[in-house]
């Protein structure tokens, strides 16, 4: 029997309504995620990574308009759920570690109590003692001393707060977790610890994970497969090794050549000309064409379809590598 994807995003198209018009933030994005898989979503600021994450949890801001698409979690379209049903699914089936999560803890409540709050909502049948035990287990899982349960957020260091937020996301044993730049505000040594912890927990619990980052080095270390985003479109998707060894989309290649590394020979870094486009008026055809050194006439006129270029390797480019 073929394994069914846990999460299947189909043709997701989302716009933000602003005073100046509609901003095309996510344009026709599709991808599948298998149980236990970790997918990296990489791209620059404003490319739609966080917008997708928020849409998956149905937490998009009020001015977001979903034009088209489906978000199938275990075959059930999250976009068709009522708000009440969605509230049951959120945290219990799909949860999220937010950007700058270190500041997303409430300073006036004990950290343990904030995690118990999630359990109160979703697993209220448990006794108070059992809930506390759950939190202790979660703390152990992410590597925090269980004595810290009754402490306040300001008594935690940045890295520990981040772990606590991860513990909170895991509280109701979701099958899917979204991590949105969870280590961006941390120093390298602490970042390394949090990344290892997250990867270990994800494998141990056999969860699916979407890891969002602008840092391709971090993505290279945590993800099994990578989706590269540019200006609201997914431009390439393949397993991690393929993306790094043989990228087909010109933007992916440019992104890799612009990224500095401390290992290996010091190669020349190639800068990309121009700036990312204004999504109020996205460029015609391929959205990357104004910055692409290999654009052909067709790139200006027609939007390249997201097609399979190899086994499990998808790209949207008229003039691929």
Partner 1 sequence: MNTGTIPLVRVEGLKMYFPVSTSIMRQAKNFIHAVDDICFDIPEGKSLALVGESGCGKTTTGKLLTRLYKPTAGSIYLRDGDDLVDLVTLKGKSLKRFRRRVQMIFQDPYESLNPRLTIFETVAEPLLVQHIGTLQEREERVVTLLEKVGLIPAGSFLFRYPHELSGGQRQRVAIARALVVEPRFIVADEPTSMLDVSIRTGVMALMTDLANDMGLSYLYITHDLAVARYSSQEIAVMYMGKIVERGETEVMLSNPLHPYTKALISAVPIPDPAIRRQPPTIKGGISQPIDPLPRCRFYERCPMQFSACQEEPPIIQKDGRQVMCWLHN
275 binds partner 1 (CB under 8 A): yes
Specify the stretch interacting with partner 1 by CB under 8 A; choose among 78-86, 114-122, 154-162, 309-317.
154-162
Of 120, 113, 178, nearest to 150 by C-alpha is 113
Within residues 235-254, the interface with partner 1 by CB under 8 A covers 240-241, 244-245, 254
Q: Is 52 helix (H, G, I), strand (E, B) or coil?
A: helix
**Which of residues 48, 112, 153, 159 is near partner 1 by CB under 8 A?**
159
Residue 266, helix vs strand vs coil: coil
What residues numbered 193-212 form the site for partner 1, per CB under 8 A? 193, 195-196
- Residue 226 pairs in a beta bridge with 40, 238
In the beta sheet, which residues pair with residue 94? 90, 176
Contact 87, 58 (CB under 8 A): no
For residues 170 and 123, the answer to whether their CB atoms sit within 8 Å is: no
Q: Does 188 participate in binding partner 1 (rule CB under 8 A)?
A: yes
Residue 228 within binding range of partner 1, rule CB under 8 A: no
**3-class DSSP state for residue 160?**
helix
**Residues whose CB is less than 8 angstroms from the CB of residue 274 and which lie 6 or more positions away in sequence, other chains included:** 290, 291
Minimum CB separation of residue 145 from partner 1 in Å reads: 12
* Rounded distance between C-alpha atoms, residue 321 and residue 319, angstroms: 7
Q: For residues 275, 216, 238 and 291, what is the CA-based torsion angle, rounded to 10 degrees?
A: 10
Q: How many residues form the binding site for partner 1 (CB under 8 A)?
A: 44
Decide if residue 50 touches partner 1 (CB under 8 A): no
Considering beta carbons, is residue 24 or 242 the nearer one to partner 1? Answer: 242
Q: Is 266 in the site for partner 1 (CB under 8 A)?
A: yes
Pairing of strands 176-180, 94-97: parallel
Query: In angstroms, rounded to a whole number, what is the distance separating the alpha carbons of residues 195 and 301?
Result: 42
Q: Does 74 bind partner 1 (CB under 8 A)?
A: no
Q: Indicate the residue among 1 and 188 with the shorter CB distance to partner 1.
A: 188
Nearest residue (CB) to partner 1, 95 versus 213: 213
* Residue 192 binds to partner 1 (criterion: CB under 8 A): yes
Does residue 37 touch partner 1 according to CB under 8 A? no
Taking alpha carbons only, the member of 106, 109, 111 closest to residue 142 is: 111
Among 61, 75, 107, 264, binds partner 1 (CB under 8 A): 264
Residue 32 sits in the site that holds partner 1 (CB under 8 A): no
Which residue ranges make up the site for partner 1 (CB under 8 A)? 44-45, 157-159, 187-193, 195-196, 214-218, 220-221, 240-241, 244-245, 254-256, 258-264, 266, 269-273, 275-276, 291
């Amino acid at each position: 029997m073929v394994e069914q994807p846990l999460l299947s995003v189909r043709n997701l198209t989302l716009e933000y309504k602003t005073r100046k018009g509609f901003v095309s933030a996510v344009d026709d994005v599709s991808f599948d995620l298998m149980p236990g898989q970790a997918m990296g979503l990489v791209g620059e600021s404003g490319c739609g990574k966080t917008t997708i994450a928020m849409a998956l949890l149905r937490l998009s801001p009020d001015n977001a308009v979903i034009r088209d698409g489906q978000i199938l979690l275990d075959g059930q379209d999250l976009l068709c759920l009522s708000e009440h049903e969605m509230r049951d699914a959120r945290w219990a089936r799909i949860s999220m570690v937010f950007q700058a999560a270190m500041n997303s803890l409430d300073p006036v409540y004990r950290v343990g109590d904030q995690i118990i709050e999630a359990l109160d909502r979703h697993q209220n049948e448990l006794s108070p003692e059992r809930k506390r035990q759950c939190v202790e287990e979660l703390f152990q899982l992410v590597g925090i001393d269980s004595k810290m349960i009754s402490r306040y957020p300001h008594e935690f260091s940045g890295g520990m707060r981040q772990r606590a937020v991860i513990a909170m996301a895991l509280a109701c044993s979701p099958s899917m977790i979204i991590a949105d730049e969870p280590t961006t505000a941390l120093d390298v040594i602490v970042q390394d610890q949090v990344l290892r912890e997250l990867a270990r927990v994800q494998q141990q619990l056999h969860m699916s994970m979407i890891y969002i980052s602008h840092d391709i080095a971090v993505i290279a270390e945590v993800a099994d497969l990578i989706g590269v985003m540019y200006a609201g479109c997914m431009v390439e998707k393949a397993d991690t090794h393929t993306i790094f060894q043989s990228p087909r989309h010109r933007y992916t290649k440019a992104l890799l050549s612009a990224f500095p590394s401390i290992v290996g020979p010091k190669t020349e870094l190639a800068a990309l000309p121009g700036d990312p486009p204004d999504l109020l008026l996205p460029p015609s055809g391929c959205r990357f064409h104004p910055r692409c050194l290999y654009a052909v006439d067709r790139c200006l006129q027609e939007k390249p379809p997201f097609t399979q270029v190899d086994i499990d390797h998808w790209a949207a480019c008229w003039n691929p590598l």
